[in-house]
């Protein structure tokens, strides 16, 4: 196993050096010997029952690698990287790990090491597409997940038993993660790949933002019906993602509700997807010729400020739902769901799914979530009706009418 690890990494290093016309500290044979040295050092350490021997071997390998690096940099002034040298030390350690009883982990890490070395250009390209805001957003998400979340109390802190700081913040992280994935995917793939992908990944961030942007953009250019079809495709795909988001959120928060909530969401989602495919077939000319261009102005979805705002909104929705559930009939809860859906579907979805574990009947929660989604769809349809051209307006409102009808029928059934 040690020899296999050395050969795997050595082949990649030798091939890489040949492609770059560069002479590194070693290739296939050298890396096999590094792995063998680690295995022998570990075996002897076990025999004499002294791990200092393995440590001394690591120092010898490090000194050899350092000497090779100095010689290499003197002969080639452009060579300043330490990748091959670090890989040699890693191979030595992995070779030793196989003799210390960690064969599976050593082989897995050897494969991972070879992959990291081989995928140099894609990894650097990925980093190149990241902006500072993206990096900061990722770090903030990690801070929120692994530093803030563990210190929050996992118990209710209000007199009504509705607010659990730990669960609330965990749900904030869930929403932020979904949005961040869509935002980064949109950044990495680029809008040149077409309006449908803009709608798909934009929907992960905000289907409302996509609807607003496409409605305004419908006044640009002279694409006529083809342009309206292309914009309707992306717009409806972003709505489809909204229905999928609701299913994912319920599945994570309250899997017991999934069987009930999936029916109205799938009905509306399939109708929305079907309409978007109809418009897509009609819009192929506009999409392929690039007559619909530009970007959806999506902001980075995660910041501590936005996370706190969402947490506060979620807390308000939780308290309102709790009070309505105690003091008003079910119709009052549906009114709250409709009003909350006009601002944010995620908050009311997570709230009702959470409350359905204890105080609300699951079917009532499903109806409330469906009402919120219908209200949100009405809001976006209204935005299109007010801001879009007649061509896009007619297409979107026709699709919205069918979607709303499907949602209402599934709600009544």
Q: What is the pLDDT of residues 341-361, one digit of tens each?
A: 887 788 889 888 988 887 788
Task: Please check whether residue 392 is in contact with residue 283, taking contact to mean a CB–CB distance below 8 angstroms.
Answer: no
Cα separation, 377 vs 208, in Å, equals 9
Question: Would you state the structure tokens that stand for residue 379, as one six-digit string?
Answer: 């809001």
With 70 as the cut, is the pLDDT of residue 293 above it? no
For residue 264, the model assigns a pLDDT of: 93
Structural domain spans, the chain = 2-118, 130-412
Q: Which of 47-56, 189-198, 308-317, 378-387 has the lowest mean pLDDT?
A: 189-198
Mean pLDDT of 146-153: 90
The span from the CA of 109 to the CA of 281, in Å, is: 46
User: Which is more confidently placed, 336 or 137?
Assistant: 336
Residue 52 or residue 172, greater confidence: 52
For every residue of 66-131, DSSP letters joined together read HHHHHHHHHH-TT----HHHHHHHHHHHHHHHHHTT-HHHHHHHHHHHHHHHHTHHHHHHHHHH--
Across 172-191, average pLDDT: 67
Task: Name the strand (E) or helix (H) holding 39.
Answer: helix 28-48
Residue 218 confidence (pLDDT): 80
CB 301, CB 307: distance < 8 Å: no
List alpha helices for 218-357, DSSP H. 224-253, 258-289, 304-327, 330-341, 345-355
- The backbone region for 224, taken as left when phi is positive above 0, alpha when psi lies in -120 to 50, beta otherwise, is left
pLDDT band at 192 (very low <50, low <70, confident <90, very high): very low
Per-residue pLDDT at 220:
65
269-286 mean pLDDT: 86
Q: What is the pLDDT of residue 133?
A: 73
- Backbone torsion region of residue 130, taken as left when φ is above 0, otherwise alpha when ψ lies between -120 and 50, otherwise beta: beta
- Over residues 112-141, the mean pLDDT reads 81
C-alpha distances out from residue 37 to 2, 46, 98, 397, Å: 9, 14, 12, 71
């Amino acid at each position: 196993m040690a020899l296999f690890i050395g050969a795997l990494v050595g082949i990649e290093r030798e091939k890489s050096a040949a492609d770059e016309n560069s002479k590194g500290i070693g290739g296939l044979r050298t890396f096999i010997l590094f792995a063998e040295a680690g295995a022998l050092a570990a075996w002897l350490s076990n025999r004499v029952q002294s791990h200092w021997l393995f440590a001394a071997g690591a120092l010898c390998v490090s000194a050899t690698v350092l000497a090779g690096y100095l010689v290499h940099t003197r002969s080639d002034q452009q060579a300043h990287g330490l990748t091959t040298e670090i890989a040699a030390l890693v191979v030595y350690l992995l070779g030793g790990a196989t003799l210390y009883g960690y064969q599976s982990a050593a082989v897995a890490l050897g494969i991972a090491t070879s992959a990291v070395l081989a995928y140099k250009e894609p990894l650097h390209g990925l980093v190149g597409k990241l902006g500072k805001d993206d990096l900061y957003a990722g770090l903030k998400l990690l801070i929120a997940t692994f530093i803030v979340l563990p210190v929050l109390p996992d118990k209710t802190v209000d007199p009504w038993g509705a607010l659990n700081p730990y669960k609330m913040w965990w749900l904030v992280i869930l929403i932020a993660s979904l949005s961040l994935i869509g935002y980064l995917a949109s950044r990495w793939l680029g809008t040149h790949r077409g309006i449908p992908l803009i709608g798909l990944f934009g929907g992960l961030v905000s289907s409302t933002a996509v609807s607003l942007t496409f409605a305004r953009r419908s006044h640009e250019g002279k694409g006529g019906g083809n342009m309206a079809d292309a914009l309707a495709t992306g717009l409806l795909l972003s709505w489809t993602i909204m229905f999928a988001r609701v299913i994912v959120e319920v599945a994570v928060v309250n899997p017991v509700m999934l069987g009930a909530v999936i029916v109205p969401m799938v009905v509306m989602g399939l109708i929305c997807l079907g309409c978007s495919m109809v418009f897509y077939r009609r819009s192929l000319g506009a999409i392929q010729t690039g007559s619909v261009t530009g970007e959806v102005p999506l902001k980075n979805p995660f910041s501590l400020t936005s996370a706190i705002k969402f947490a506060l909104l979620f807390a308000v929705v939780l308290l309102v739902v709790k009070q309505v559930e105690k003091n008003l009939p079910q119709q009052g809860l549906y009114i709250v769901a409709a009003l909350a859906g006009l601002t944010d579907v995620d908050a009311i979805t997570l709230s009702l799914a959470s409350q359905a574990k204890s105080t609300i009947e699951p079917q009532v929660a499903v109806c409330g979530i469906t009402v919120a989604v219908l209200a949100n769809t009405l809001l976006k349809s209204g935005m299109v009706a007010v801001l879009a051209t007649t061509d896009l307006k007619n297409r979107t409102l026709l699709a919205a009418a069918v979607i709303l009808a499907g949602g209402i029928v599934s709600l009544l059934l």
